Amino acid sequence: MTQLPRYDLTAEPWIPALGLDGAVHELSPIDVFARSDELVSIGGELPTQGFALTRVLLAILHRAVRGPEDITDWAELWRAPGLPVDDVARYLAQWRRRFDLFSTEAPFLQVAGLSTAKGEFSGLEKLIADVPNGHPYFTTRAGRALQCIGFAEAARWVVHAHAFDPSGIKSGAAGDPRVKGGKGYPIGIAWAGNLGGVLMQGTTLRDTLLLNLLPYGEQSPVLGWGESDDDLPVWERPLLTAAVEREGASPRGPADLYTWPSRRVRLVGNDAGVTGVLVANGDPLPVQDAFSFEPMSAWRKSDAQAKKLGRQLVYMPREHHVDRAFWRGLAALLPAGAAQRTGGADTLPPAMSEWLALIQLHGHVPHDYMIQTRAVGIVYGSNNSVVDELIDDELSLTVAVLQSEHRALGLAAVDAVNAAEAAVRALGSLARNLQEAAGGDGAGAADRARELGFAALDAPFRRWVAELGPDSDLIEVEERWHRQVRRIVRGLADELLEDSGPAAWRGREVNQRHLDSARADVFFSAALVEAVPRAFAPAEHQPIQQTKEPV
């Protein structure tokens, strides 16, 4: 195999970053930290790549500052101008030999000499997540673009593989006792792929990195982190082999977690670029109750997992849904609505939400500081062995919405979501009733109407919640939202009525009652009053007794 050149990832520009000027810059890690005040976020070929790269940068920063040990340490970093670039530079210089992408002894996030019994390697489609199993769902890559990629891109995909590689049968690596018949049988999705990833972004990349730099001390919202000295990223530990590194172990801190070796990888190629890869099974990490160490996901109670494991209570990551806008799950992000983490709440918020609430309570971050809450994830298909869908959504909130002292703000935001949901349900019921009045079954019409309703409310809600702050008049902002929902949903309802046709206006017997367009409109109007009562003047807000039939 051709010897690949040295490619020093501490010095080479391989990390894409979006600048405040709107341009994308490819930078070395040191340049990323040095220019973090000029940057907005970390990017990549996919949104999930940016998420994974951000976590690697956080691991570097944790180790460079050896902490922060507590909230006081964190506050000093927050008040300082920029980031501790000199500390980062010294740290990367110390571990430079482990950041060579093609080292013959310790290639970055890879296993030197990794091979199968037959010495086989796969094509790049096994590494590049936007070409799942050779089917280019998310890209137009083809031909030579798949035969060879540049070193910088290859490095990004190696990071991504450890975070988001699908499950399924992998190459059987020589030296891995789990291999049977030359195959590595499924151990599950790479770690971050299990999550409903939530990244709290500040106004600059500098702020984002510091806001996500959780302390190790007692005030940390993450319960499973030990001392910072015990928290070592994979490049500070003994060299990986094909076998599992730590059987049954949990991460000892963020640097360990953010570089968790879910796979064993080896790149091959030539001076022109990377042409092949070997991807084998790495270290599994149980996802049940991982809220004790994973801060970038919300969690849901799972009765099925509790029964399976014989426990009273088990939490699983609260995954994102491709057909559901992120803001509709807002309640799961808010610490104000959750019971204690050791209690029996149906959902637990990301630890990052609790941390932001804490630093705002201590006065380190102003209550009107704007947080861009970003949802990132992958929906896997066919037994989690292929990539089906990508999720990338954002929601802007002032940090006060997350703060328990301003609990009414969080409740107002959740109530606004509930009002929108109720109004859209009413619209769906109208569409179903109109279809049934015309002789159809109505299920498809209801689904389409709900899709239209949520799509029409999406941008207005995002604007409304971004303006919500501690100085807001909650009655006035709620009335404003209700009026807006009423106007939008009523407009969609009028379009449905106008298009319903003569058969619906004549109507027919449905479930032993006469149903026509006019009656369907009466039912809808009553449901809309219940959904957004503040949109109606007191004289209008009167219960219509004859419409209380089930719809």
pLDDT tens per residue across span 405-454: 667 888 999 999 999 999 999 999 999 999 999 998 888 999 999 999 99
C-alpha distances out from residue 436 to 89, 507, 518, Å: 68, 8, 13
> DSSP letters of 59-84?
HHHHHHHT---SHHHHHHHHHSSS--
DSSP 6: P
Cis peptide before 215 (omega within 30 of 0): no
Q: What is the pLDDT of residue 407?
A: 78
Q: Among residues 424, 405, 432, which one has the least CA distance to residue 511?
A: 432
The values of phi and psi at residue 446, to 5°, are: -65, -45
For residue 268, give the 3-state DSSP assignment.
Answer: strand
For residue 167, give the 3-state DSSP assignment.
Answer: coil
Residue-wise pLDDT tens digits, 184-233: 999 999 999 999 999 999 999 999 999 999 999 877 888 778 788 899 99
**Residue 370, H or E segment:** strand 370-381
Q: How far is C-alpha 236 from the geometric centre of its chain's CA atoms?
A: 27
- For 514, counting Cβ atoms within 10 Å of its Cβ (0-12 exposed, 13-18 middle, 19+ buried), the class is exposed
**Residue 156, both tokens:** 């990004």
For residue 347, give the 3-state DSSP assignment.
Answer: strand
- Interior CA angle at 325 toward 52 and 126, to 5°? 35
Q: Are 164 and 378 in contact (CB under 8 A)?
A: yes
Q: What is the pLDDT of residue 538?
A: 63
For CATH 1.10.132.100, the residue range(s) in the chain are 406-547
CATH architecture of 406-547: Orthogonal Bundle (1.10)
Buried b (16+ CB within 10 A) or exposed e, 83-118: bebeebbebbeeeeebbbbbbeebbbbbbeebbbee
Q: What is the CA radius of gyration of the chain?
A: 26
The values of phi and psi at residue 365, to 5°, are: -125, 130
Those residues of the chain that have pLDDT short of 70 are: 1-3, 130-145, 336-343, 404-406, 537-551
- For 55, counting Cβ atoms within 10 Å of its Cβ (0-12 exposed, 13-18 middle, 19+ buried), the class is buried
What is the rounded distance in angstroms from the CA atom of residue 545 to the CA atom of residue 543?
6
C-alpha distances out from residue 33 to 37, 41, 82, 269, Å: 8, 12, 8, 30
Amino acid at 276: G
Amino acid at 521: D
**Secondary structure, 3-state, 115-150:** CECCCCCECHHHCCCCCHHHCCCCCCCCCHHHHCEC
- Interior CA angle at 298 toward 294 and 300, to 5°? 110
Q: Which residues, 6+ apart, have CB-to-CB distance to 260 below 8 Å? A: 162, 191, 234, 251, 283, 285
